[in-house]
Chains A and B, each alone.
Chain A
């Protein structure tokens, strides 16, 4: 069941487009914002609310990297693995994160705190290497800063 709050937020997105269906990606994001990921159950509820079949909605949901159809941690780390970050040594940053958190790309820490994903260029290549945690951007990152950054998210 979608909550009243979720329904209101989805309605707001629908208001911006001429067709109800056109807001379905926004609708998935609303649900994800509240529940962290989109379960089969949630998917069915959103589909019904948007006048779509669950299969149709799922084919949209699975297309996008930032819609999570599997459980994820409380915080998402998006590590840029593109060209300028590679040139400036992101591999060291990723190795350090992996070692510290004991997870690789696509995995979640045992305590459910972090999920780490690779992400194409974060658009801040002049301050490479870079990564994001949730909506926060970290630039010019060095390995000795990582512990302090990770502490900030519980």
Chain B
């Protein structure tokens, strides 16, 4: 069994209540930080831990915290990104539903480190039932003196609010999220300035993913150096992987970073192999915005090395033969899956969710959807495949936020690795017409 730092107690009956959570060692990080450490010391431990953002980009959390402009006269904010809408990703929902106090605890310890007096959890509008779970946990924490004025008599005060969104994938992008939190359309802002300098109401703000904030709890409890002993190289700690698709055991797994991909897919401790005794065709390893890889390349790099569940190993080979750990949304396809139809599903999604600010993204996603629709439905033209590659190239790197890239990468990688399927669709329209 791998080491668990976040979900060890997740199956303890009643762990969603303050009482049981506290009895099982909950809120120790708040006591330790507020009573025995300065805010900068807490930030230092997070730096030492090597923890990288679990929202997908993998930016070192401690570094981001240290970039927070502490000289500004303005208030500082910690905002938790609980917008989780990356298709294939459901770890944040699972953590919040089962262990709401872990997030609340991380928010208090984190807010203390950053000197925030008001903090927000921005959660997607579809998760209203989770909003209620979180609000109950927050009420319990207030009642127990862990939130509000003069927490545990230390003189530190914090208010924590849950803020539900209203249905927009783009609001997971941190600057769109901040716009939405300010009551505006969720249009991403140009970066820099990064939120650490000018975020919510132009004040210094740290935006972190749910899992990142939860990880602050074991980091403070164990100490950053001890936390960093789990994992490999620059991929320290554990990571929640959302596993779904054609596998025997879909679900959430907390893995030690460094686990071989092959073991993750085939061992009974994790995914339990491909369902119905079939063969694996492809994997999307990090949520829908990362490149898709065929079975051989997900198990081994192009150099023939065993692929590991780490930021570095999954990215080995760049966009030619590699992918990304991303948000940890691990989707497995068996040999019966049609890559063309799959890609059309993606394209429709990105077209619908584009905020429309940049023309390469707005027009490009629409174009890709249209072309994929006609290929999939047996009306493809001979130049369509190259047209798709070309449109994807024109979007990449030419937009305000990475949604454009996220729409382009799956198209480019699917065609790179499964070109013959696209060609088959164009060549034998009568066989695919539906």
Contacts and interface: CB of A to CB of B under 8 A. Distances in A.
A63 to B, nearest CB: 4
B166 A65 contact: yes
A135 B130 CA distance: 10
A149 to B, nearest CB: 17
A75 B251 CA distance: 29
Contact of A82 (B93, B183, B333, B349): B349
Interface stretch (A1-9, A96-104, A115-123): A115-123
B265 interface: no
Contacts of A110: none
Contacts of A67: 166-167
Contact of B201 (A18, A29, A124): A18
Given A84-B88, A121-B86, A128-B244, A25 B183 contact: yes
Interface stretch (B120-128, B219-227, B313-321, B382-390): B120-128
A91 B234 CA distance: 41
Contacts of B129: 135, 137
Contacts of A18: 201
A78 B128 CA distance: 13
Interface string B115-157: 0000000001111110000000000000000000000000000
Nearest to A118: B352
Contacts of B349: 81-82, 120
B242 A126 contact: yes
B87 A132 contact: no
Contact of A124 (B90, B166, B345): B90
Interface string B163-176: 11111110000000
Contacts of B352: 118, 120
Contact of B331 (A60, A84, A120): A84
B82 to A, nearest CB: 10
A87 B183 contact: no
Nearest to A90: B345
A16 B161 contact: yes
B183 A24 contact: yes
Dominant SS among interface residues on chain B: mixed
B180 A25 contact: yes
B201 A82 contact: no
Interface in A15-67: 16-19, 21-25, 28-29, 59-60, 63-67
B185 interface: yes
A122 B126 contact: yes
B85 interface: yes
B391 interface: no
A110 B269 CA distance: 50
Contacts of B201: 18-19
B342 interface: yes
Interface in A105-140: 118-128, 132, 135, 137
Nearest to A57: B183
A94 B127 CA distance: 21
B243 A22 contact: no
B335 interface: no
B85 A126 contact: no
A82 B287 CA distance: 11
B396 interface: no
A152 to B, nearest CB: 16
Contacts of B342: 83, 86-87
Contacts of B167: 64-67, 119
A74 B427 CA distance: 47
13 contacts: A22-B183, A25-B166, A25-B180, A66-B125, A82-B88, A119-B126, A121-B87, A122-B126, A123-B84, A123-B127, A124-B93, A126-B243, A126-B251
8 closest Cβ pairs, A-B complex? A65-B167, A66-B167, A64-B166, A82-B87, A126-B250, A125-B244, A22-B183, A121-B87
Interface of A: 16-19, 21-25, 28-29, 59-60, 63-67, 78, 81-84, 86-88, 118-128, 132, 135, 137
